[in-house]
Every structure is written in C-alpha cells, then in structure tokens.
C-alpha cells in the first residue's frame, strides 16, 4: 500500500513538473484581465511587497497567477518583471466590477478557469483580451466610471425626524440631488476635495463628464440609490467628498453657494462620505480602441459579452456586502451625525474640527485615487 501511494505521488509530481516544463516553453504575451472583487477586508488593490499584515487584492491575484502557471514565481516577487499595471488603485474596503490590469503572461490552456480556481469566490477574472506590447492599463485609460451606493435617508433634511427603514426619497429631493450633482460637470479646481494639494496646483484641476443619481430601490426594507460619476481621473477621496458636500447641502447644513466657493482659492471644509458604497464600475479606453480596436490583430477593449457576468457578480458579492455592512455597522448613519460638527461658513476653524473627526472615525479609505 505504501509503495502504491508513493508511486502515485511520484507520478503526480512528475506530471506537475511536465506541466511546468510545458508552461515554460509557452511564449509570454501582453494581455488585460477584467476583474471584479468585493473589497471588504482588504487594504485596497495595490500590493505592498514586504508588508504582509495588510492584505490586498493583488496579493491574492499574484498568488493565483503563480499557482496557475501563468507567471514564474519570481515575477510575483518583482511585479515589474511581468510589466504589471493596474488601471485604478482602489483603496481600503472599496469594490470593483470592472477593474482592468495589464501584464505579460504565459497563455496556458483554460487560463481564466485556472486562475479563478486559485482565487477566493469574491475575486473573479471575468474576461481576457490580447493587447499591444507597449500597452499600459493606467496610462492608456481615458476615463473611469465609479458608482456610490447609499441609503436614501442620507438625503433627509436635518430638521425632520427620520426612521431609516420607513424613509423614502421624494421626487423633489431627487431632482435637487441631481441638479447639484450636475454642477460638478466640466473642469473645476478640486483642491478642496482631496488632501495635500494647494489651489494653484495644476493637477487639482479635473474634468467630470457626467454625475447623476439613479432611481431609488428597496433592499432589506431600506431604500438605496446609486450615484454614477464618470471622469477623466480622480484624486484621493475626491468622489467621496463630492458626494459628502451634496449630502450636506441637501440636508440643510450648508448653503448651495458653498459649491462655487469650494472651487475658489480659499480652504473650504468639505466632509468626506464613508468609503463603503464606492465601486469602480468600468474603465474606458476610447483612444486605444479607435487606434487598435479594429486593426485586425487586436480586439477593442469593450466588455459587452461580459456584462451579464459583471451584473451577476455585483448582485452576489458587492451589493449584499454594502447592504449588510451598512445595516450592521451603520457607517452612513454614524457619519451623518458628524455633519453638525462641520463649519460650512468659515474655513479655518471648520478644517481643524474636520481633521479631528476624520482621524477619530474608523475610516474606510475610498479609492477614487487612480492617477496620483
């Protein structure tokens, strides 16, 4: 029996070595992977080699790439060797339905199936496409679309006593929300919507293509809505602060005039909404698609065939995580209680209070920061 067991083990080891040898002979090719993941419990997307106590999405991805034979083990330790680049650097707790990474891999048989076998179920590779040799997913990206899912009681006026499960957003309030969100469209100086950027820093100017709140829907007795925003690129915390300021105005804590003021040179106290509801929806490669999408060698980077899989993943992993975490931890309800501390009229005092309150809260870092 022992000999039989040993023979089986030797055969298995030999077949694994054969597979590895076959993999080594495969040429490396530049590809992009379409990724979806639920970010809860992770310290963001980007891998920090050497700090294993902060687990990231890329830690699990690199592990799966090595185990599936797509990359040699040493490429996992030095990601430059496989020309790895993520399109957006989602931060702590933030999810994605359409993240794109570019890298060089060995195109093993059944590659997607093999990678997914070695990934936890809340991280999936949903698609793969061949790209040009010099492709870089971050530099070639023209725009990013994010969504932010929030309970609609966030928009209830501060003077009204609101029962969270009973509250329903009325048409008039939704129209006001959308009118304010539309003010962000175009190019503005967003230095007040991030940290460590002065009003004269050219990189604080950002271009927003669209921003709106969709129709509300009820889940687990609570009404939710999803805000969508498409922009060229976003700075750290920019989206969460854009949404935070609109909530403060709709609730009656701040005057509408604060929007115009926030784009000026003075320092304005802009509250930062919780990170929980933020999701990277998709990334856009319009220029690349025009140039290479129909050249006969490459496909356009569009994912219409994967839309159903993306929608199913959101329903199974992303939305339930946001809803259940909101119900258990009440991140939005607790954050709304801090709005009264902010001083929306004068800037200096309010900023000090804001800094103290944000340090004290258990903050989920939202990852709007793709470019900086």
Active site residues: 91
Task: Say which residue the tokens 């065939």 belong to.
Answer: 305
- What is the chain's length? 372
Q: Which of 279, 251, 236 is nearest to 150 (CA)?
A: 279
Dist CA 364 CA 98 (whole Å): 20
Q: CA of 364: how far to CAs of 145, 287, 309, 331, 361, in Å?
A: 20, 33, 27, 9, 9
Q: Which of 189, 341, 362 is nearest to 274 (CA)?
A: 362
Helix orientation angle between 238-250 and 171-182, rounded to the nearest 10 degrees? 140
Q: What is the largest CA-CA distance in the chain?
A: 82
Classify residue 42 as left (phi > 0), alpha (psi -120 to 50) or beta: beta
Ligand-binding annotation for 42, yes or no, is no
DSSP state of 116: H
**Contact, 201 vs 190, CB < 8 A?**
no
Classify residue 161 as left (phi > 0), alpha (psi -120 to 50) or beta: beta
**Contact, 207 vs 235, CB < 8 A?**
no
Pairing relationship of beta strands 123-130 and 186-189 according to DSSP bridges: unpaired
**Contact, 34 vs 100, CB < 8 A?**
yes
Pairing relationship of beta strands 143-151 and 123-130 according to DSSP bridges: unpaired
Task: Say which residue the tokens 């129209």 belong to.
Answer: 175
Q: Which of 172, 173, 171 is nearest to 155 (CA)?
A: 173
Instruction: Tell me the DSSP string of 126-155.
Output: EEEEE--TT--TTTT--EEEEEEEEEGGGG
Specify the 3-state DSSP secondary structure of 372: coil
DSSP state of 256: T
- Known binding residues are 146
- Known binding residues for substrate are 146
């Amino acid at each position: 029996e022992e000999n039989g067991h040993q023979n089986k083990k030797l055969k298995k080891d030999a077949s694994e070595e054969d597979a590895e040898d076959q993999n080594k002979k495969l040429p490396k090719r530049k590809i992009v992977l379409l990724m979806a993941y639920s970010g809860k419990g992770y310290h963001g997307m980007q891998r920090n080699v050497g700090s294993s106590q902060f687990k990231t999405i890329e830690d699990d991805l690199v592990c799966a790439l090595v185990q599936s034979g797509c990359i040699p083990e040493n490429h996992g330790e030095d990601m430059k060797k496989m020309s790895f680049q993520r399109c957006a650097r989602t931060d702590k707790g933030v999810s994605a339905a359409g993240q794109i990474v570019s890298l060089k891999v060995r195109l093993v048989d059944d590659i997607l199936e093999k990678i997914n076998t070695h990934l936890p179920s809340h991280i999936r590779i949903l698609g793969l496409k061949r790209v040009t040799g010099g492709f870089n997913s971050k530099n070639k990206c023209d725009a990013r679309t994010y969504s932010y899912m929030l309970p609609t009681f966030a928009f209830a006026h501060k003077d009204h006593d609101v029962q969270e499960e009973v509250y329903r957003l009325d048409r008039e309030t939704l129209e006001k929300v959308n009118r304010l969100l539309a003010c962000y469209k175009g190019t503005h100086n967003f230095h007040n919507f991030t940290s460590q950027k002065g009003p004269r820093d050219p990189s604080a100017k950002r271009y927003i293509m669209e921003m709106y709140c969709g129709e509300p829907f009820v889940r687990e007795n609570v009404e939710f809505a999803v805000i969508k925003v498409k922009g060229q690129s976003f700075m750290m915390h920019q989206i969460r602060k854009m949404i935070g300021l609109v909530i403060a105005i709709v609730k009656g804590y701040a005057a509408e005039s604060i929007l115009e003021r926030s784009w000026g040179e003075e320092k304005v106290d802009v509250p930062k909404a919780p990170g929980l509801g933020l999701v990277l929806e998709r990334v856009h490669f319009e220029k690349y698609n025009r140039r290479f999408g129909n050249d006969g060698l490459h496909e356009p980077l569009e994912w219409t065939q994967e839309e159903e899989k993306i929608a199913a993943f959101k329903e199974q992993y992303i939305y339930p995580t946001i809803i259940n975490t909101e119900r258990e931890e009440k991140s939005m309800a607790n954050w709304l209680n801090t709005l009264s501390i902010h001083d929306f009229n004068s800037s200096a005092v309010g900023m000090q209070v804001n800094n103290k309150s944000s340090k004290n809260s258990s903050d989920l870092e939202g990852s709007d920061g793709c470019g900086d």
